[in-house]
Structure 1
Amino acid sequence: MRPILIVVLLIAVLLIAGLTGCRTLGYYAHVAHGQATLLAQRRPVAEVLHDPATPERVRLRLALSSQARRFASDALGLPDNRSYTYYVALDRPWVAWNVFATPVFSVAPVTHCFPIAGCVAYRGYFRKNLADREAARLRAGGDDVALGEVPAYSTLGWFADPILSSMLYWDDDTLAGTIFHELAHQKFYVKDDTAFNESYASFVEDEGVREWRRSRGLPPPEGDDAVDRSFTLRVLALREQLGRLYAEPMDATAMGVAKAETFEVFRGDYLAWRANVARGDRRYDRWMAKPLNNATLLPFGLYDTWKPAFAALFERSDRQWPVFFARVAALGRKPAAERTRELQALLR
């Protein structure tokens, strides 16, 4: 999982200053300050590459990111702008933290709506203590809460998004793929439809990495998507099971016991799944070791719900990126219900 943070622009603070409460304004001010701080700290990648003080590891990773950045525009038709031509060395392991929440007996997210990005199922914070404070506030109000670490994000082209030091620890494919993914958001974005946006950008990321590797004389990426898909389907099934449970007519005490039992059964089944389906792959052990609740399930499915539909659309576009992007844009302009119907038709 790699949730993105859509940053609200400073101008939004000015536009809504007379329309929102102090807590909301305080949040917008925090996000604007965090974005401004990154802009102030960024350095051109070319400058960092030629700086004798730059560690060799950083130099190698930035050289690769520069190659991927050029490939994104030249070969994939993604925006040719200054995004990912700057570098920021962070003083922390993550650039931000997302706070997810649901009611205690619901799998529906607590959503947050912003003037530019639309409605999303989380709030992002550049400071961990503020994310923790918001999480504590939501828990005190009775919600299920989860925090997600954010290594990279997109401002949808409003600013020149930088390469962050938190991105340099990834392997080559993940680093290049993230650049393709975030630039895809800049190419096209639909307000209030996270599953559409993330599935589309994830397809561009995956197909872009395949073409990127082919251009470098490398074989296709080793396919471990099956494990991810299998685990995601298990989580989505758990979410559906909980949704049915919460619709049952029972008191809060009985509901709480049934909820706890459902999560415990899921934990137990995981060990068998890891041994038999994932063949010992332990990539989800860290996630499973954390406390599980409704909110921890929210990010799953956002990135791949419609990815096979976009793969089909790419094939119908004769694998031509300009044709594909034009069809994505046309699809995104349709009303939500019609858009969903067409995506479903692409899956057949």
Structure 2
Amino acid sequence: MNLRIFGWSYGVTVVSLVIAFLYGGWQALILCTILGILEISLSFDNAVVNATILERMSEFWQKIFLTIGIFIAVFGMRLVFPLVIVAVTAGLNPVESLTLALEQRPESDPTSYAALLDEAYPQIAAFGGMFLFMLFLDWMFTDRDVKWLQPIERFLSRIGQIERISIVLAVLALVLLAEFLAEDPAIVLLSGSLGLITYLGVQGLGQFFEQAGHAQMQEEAAADGSGGPTQLAKATGKAGFFLFLYLEVLDAAFSFDGVIGAFAITPDPIIIALGLGLIGAMFVRSLTVFLVRKGTLADYVYLEHGAHWAIGALAVILLVGIGYHVNEILTGLIGVAFIGAALLSSILRNRRLEAQGIDTHKTADELAAK
């Protein structure tokens, strides 16, 4: 792999493991390593989706996401967010929540940080699950020239012709899950509704400003006689800002399962911050940069499909988690399986096209009929 892209991740990994060893010896080092591997395995689909959105952003907003955005991902979602959740659900202030986390009480203790966070899981799962479920449905209901699992994706694209069908199905799923799985249906309905509203709000604003920015570029090009932009406009200004917000919320939704699952390995917030936050988040950043700079998504056209199927699986696991615990290793393996299968399918497709003398670097539209 390119050292320029992954160099920081390797460096941060070494530093994090050294800190873990100094903090808690060999046990802390092993736990930190396990958490890093867990987060990376859970985040392949996250990196693929990040790359697809990042390609639509201007270079300025790409840099903002890859610097400030990653800082938020590391310290916001992997460290601060669990503290806030515990503080809110347990009626504590932030200082008390942090103190409770550092006490490292065993999860069997109902007053422990890990137990309180686990108790809040239904609300977290409802919010994150609905956000990811909407993302999955909207993507699958859009008719695309290139289809991976053709019979299924063709069927879903036909259903998508029904206006607002994704919202209808998402709300129906939320109501049924709250009724049959939740101990407190009202809390789950509220959290799930907030997840749905967050998705619609951020997605809608991002699309609005992106379209407005593209229209402005066309007007400017027409005014100077250039005849219009020669390529798809990159999101700048407000459009770039809302795509940035969308990516941050998306990363938050992806991180829910990893953060909760980490407490099944250790309740120590320092080890979790090192393994999940520093090591995991940095590798997500590097994988995202690698996919964008190497044009991997264009070369392996089914990767985006595999990532969204993995998102759908993660959404279902989160929503089922409202009533039943699903092992985090299974969650990671499902994501890796979808990405791996999509990558293999892309490689086989490219070889088939090359054998036919067809340029695999042509656009998807040009190859759709092949």
Question: What TM-score comes out, normalization by structure 1 length?
Answer: 0.30
Q: Whose helix proportion is higher, 1 or 2?
A: 2
Larger RCO of the pair (alpha carbons < 8 Å, separation 6+) = 2
Q: Whose strand proportion is higher, 1 or 2?
A: 1
